[in-house]
Structure 1
Amino acid sequence: MPTTMPSRRRARGPLIALLAAVALLLGSGAVPAYAEPNEGGTKKLQDALEATAKAHIEAKAKLDNSKRRQKQLVAEMGTLEARVTELTAQVGEVAAQSYRVGRLTPTSMLLNSASPEAFLERAANLDLMAQRDSRRLRSFTEARQQAEQAKLAMDAEVREQQKQLAVMAKKKKEAEAALAEVSSGTSGGFSGGSSSSAKPAPRNSDGSWPSESCSVNDPTTSGCITPRTLNALQQTKAAGYKRYVSCYRSGGGGEHPKGRACDFAAATNGFEDRNATGGDKAYGDSLAAWHVRNANRLGVLYVIWYRQIWHPGTGWRSYSGSGSPAASHTNHVHLSMY
């Protein structure tokens, strides 16, 4: 019996829906696996951003470490100066007594003894006085030397701080020069993301960041990321930013192939080929601001979002991509890690 028209329509219904879904996935509306092949512009710019940001962060760590040492030295200097003042008074008492009664020599003190017992007593007292005066003078000399060494150490820390400030100023100029091809100057940054509650990534004892390789599994892809990048990813999600994110990728330049970068989609559906607006734009604003606010805790190298880039040496600056939402970073927040 021939198939009726209604039954043929019913049969074609699921097929049409399936074909439409496939067309959507394969067509221009598909969500890409990653946001932008060449994150951060040309290789020259990527290398410059990485080098200047790292140099700035390292100089800042040395500067902070020097300031901590200087603070300790100031406290130590105060204690030593108080000790020197106290010992100066004691040495002054000895000198004043000698001036008033004359120099008491061992010979005169012992010859004036009325009896053998008095002789022995005076000999013992003479020994105690000699030990006391010797300790006072020795302590005074040592304390004064320690105070002088502390002062020299503080002077050295001041020179170290001046050196690191000069390095930071130099790297700022280099970063600005590198960004000149894609930036027209400073910009206002973004609001939101006021929390500074990110769990700090481990540092070396001197405050610097340890060197890390792409050694842990990336939960967003089948690749790998560094432990510091993983901490940043986990802390970002813990702060409430839980939309689609992709970190490692094997191709292209920048930090992604090194496991030191993540792209955070602004839209709830992932990397959409359009500029974020409304709630999606507000989400990206807040996320970018949060990453910057917690940059020192997490070890952030730089952040790119909505035609702006944050570099630790320059702050927020304008940023122009190739025009697409992916290249201009208007559909995702890019995070690069130290």
Structure 2
Amino acid sequence: MPVAPPTGRSLSPARTFVAALITGLLLPGFAAVARAEPKPTVKQLKKELAELQKESDKLIADYYSSRIDQQKAEKAEKSAREKLAAAQEVYDRESVALRAMAVAQYTGGAPNEVTMMTGAQDPSALLGRMALTRHLVTLQDARLGGYARVRDDHQRAKGEAAARAEELARTVDELEERKARAEKTIERIKDRIDQLYTAPGVRRPDGTWVPQLPEGADNVTPRMRLVKMLIEQRFDVPYGIGCYRAVQDGGEHPLGRACDFMLSRGGAMPTGEELKRGDEIAEWAIKNARRLGIMYIIYRQRIWHVRTGGWRTMSDRGGTTANHYDHPHISVY
């Protein structure tokens, strides 16, 4: 519809046409903007994140189950190989014995059964020797036959294990790829959730923030409380988070503007996995520093300041905790 002219003024036909044309061109666009999908809320993203984490947990469970099946197949093949080695010893020993008997019969000129039965020797003694010889041959044949069965069982187990191992290897590779994709998607959603939060308070033109006063029972500022909450939601901090303390040491803890995210207990040096978690927390804080009002980070005897944007080594303070090896320290403006 045409744009209504201002009160008390009329538009020329040409201007009316132009106004109608502009209205016809722009209003559909405005309507499309109005109909655009709204940005997802934190609640929606968290729901999507929970579903992805559930899928990721299942992938991890399937991965370990397949790994166990693969180990069972390898164990069965190893057992069959050990049985084959034992049977091979028996086979070699009995083969040697049979060859020795054959050589003795051939070189010693021992009479055959017909000769023994028709000769002048004592028939009962001859029959005893014949029975003993047949018993030994039968026993050795049985042992050699047992080797053949073990050998065939090993070949069958080896073939089955190889086929199963190949199948499981494909399954494990596929699960690893799917798990990696799921973890990347989870990280992207976590990043999107982080982006929905901005630091409370006033930011100066130079990028710094107007300091806030602590509040609440925990005696921390709203800005520090937000950083603490986001880290708690994103990372596992099993040994606690220490923020406010009354000791006036010249830092931000007494001002409610600093928190320590503990990686171990009692001043113990963290494990490699715990140190890695500390690195991840520090990297996250650096990535979000300007948006969340983070001023500096101390970790592993180094300090990173938002003004310089780089790590600088600190002097040795004499201990694991004093040198911040067991926790990243984060201070906000």
Q: TM-score range by the shorter chain?
A: 0.3 to 0.5
Larger radius of gyration: 2
Give the number of the structure whose residues are more often helix, by fraction: 2
Taking structure 2 as the reference length, what is the TM-score of the superposition?
A: 0.45
Give the TM-score of the pair, scaled to structure 1. 0.44
Q: Which has the higher contact order (CA 8 A, sep 6+)?
A: 1
